[in-house]
Amino acid sequence: MLDKLKTFVQFYEEVLNMPHRQEIARELRDEDDLFLLLLYSEMIGIPNPVYYYTLELYPYMIEKFHDWHLRMGMDKSPMAGIRCC
């Protein structure tokens, strides 16, 4: 009985999310872009008050950096310390 209820809830969520799937993906991508901008802002000259704490995130975010700077319209990496292209 519990499995059938879980399956029904999953189906119901899929039906509700179906027409908005692209909007949700766009919002998530915009949120990621803003986060990466905040993360790398100190390197491009924008003061970042939490630079010390975001420094720990660089190794995890470097893989996404290439896609981010291409989406932002930069053909090559704007930072000398990060070579991804």
Reported as a single tens digit per residue, the pLDDT across 41-82 is 877 788 888 777 777 877 777 778 778 878 878 777 766 666
pLDDT, mean of residues 21-31: 87
- What is the model's pLDDT at position 45? 80
Closest by Cα among 66, 83, 82, 64 to 74: 66
Q: Tell me the C-alpha to C-alpha distance, in Å, between residue 52 and each of 63, 78, 79.
A: 20, 21, 18
Which residue bears the tokens 């930069």? 74
Say if residue 32's pLDDT is above 80.
yes
Q: Which residues contact 85 (CB under 8 A, 6 or more apart)?
A: 66, 75, 76, 77
Residue percentage of the chain with pLDDT more than 70 = 92
Q: Quickly tell me which residue has 């660089």 as its tokens.
A: 58
CA distance 37 to 64: 12
